[in-house]
Amino acid sequence: MLLRLRVFASLLLAATAAGADEAIETPEAFLTEAFGAQVPAPQTLWLDDKAQAQIRPILNHIYPQARLRYWRVGNRTAWILDETGKEFPITAGFVLKDQAIDLARVLIYRESRGDEIRYPAFLKQFNGAHLASDGLQPAIDGISGATLSVSAMQRMARTALTLNPLAETAAP
């Protein structure tokens, strides 16, 4: 009985640690970093068939939400997206300026490993990145042991860059 209790406690502890959310930066703090004290009101982009057709090849699945909120002031737009790394969603924020990434942040990390993607040394690679025919340009270097998390960040960055022109032409 004692052995069963120890095994159960170990499994419970492992399961809890593996799925633990680590809030690195709140969405509010990210938006304040992006826009200063005057954060604009959120706008909504409906992910209709046209939008889903553009992002499905990037994500290899349809985006699970019917609509996304984004924030815009002039030519500066902020997106907060979720994408699965290995097993759990990663929440990241991207600020775009003139169809290039101006700022990238990991907001919530839920995976058990690969959290090195949250550090500035990795994230600064996204600054100035834009869409190219084969992905992002310049290419983003990977991190050993964090391959799936790096890939999720790249897919979210490409998704934000793909959706941004649709948001510009969407009716308010």
d(CA 147, CA 91): 16
Nearest to 106 by CA among 143, 62, 64, 54: 143
d(CA 91, CA 82): 4
Torsion of CA 68, 127, 33, 92, to 10 degrees: 40
Determine if the peptide bond prior to 138 is cis (ω within 30°): yes
Residue that wins the pLDDT comparison between 6 and 80: 80
d(CA 136, CA 161): 10
Judged against a pLDDT cut of 70, whether residue 143 lies above it is answered with yes
| Residue 15 is assigned to a structural domain of this protein | no
Q: How far apart are the first and last CA of the chain?
A: 63
Per-residue pLDDT, 20? 63
The range of the structural domain enclosing residue 156 comes to 21-169
| Residue 38 is assigned to a structural domain of this protein | yes
Q: Domain count of the chain? A: 1
**pLDDT of 76-115, one tens digit each?**
999 999 999 999 999 999 999 999 999 999 999 999 999 9
Nearest to 155 by CA among 128, 132, 135, 129: 135
Please name the residues in contact with 156: beta carbons below 8 A apart, sequence gap of 6 or more: 81, 82, 83, 90, 92, 94
| Residue 13 is assigned to a structural domain of this protein | no
Per-residue pLDDT, 171? 52
This model's pTM is above 0.85: yes
| Residue 117 is assigned to a structural domain of this protein | yes
| Residue 12 is assigned to a structural domain of this protein | no
**pLDDT of 35-78, one tens digit each?**
999 999 999 999 999 999 999 999 999 999 999 999 999 999 99
| Residue 3 is assigned to a structural domain of this protein | no
Share of the chain above pLDDT 90, in %: 83
Nearest to 156 by CA among 84, 65, 54, 97: 84
| Residue 91 is assigned to a structural domain of this protein | yes
Average pLDDT in the chain: 90
Both tokens of 40, joined, read 């604009």
| Residue 153 is assigned to a structural domain of this protein | yes
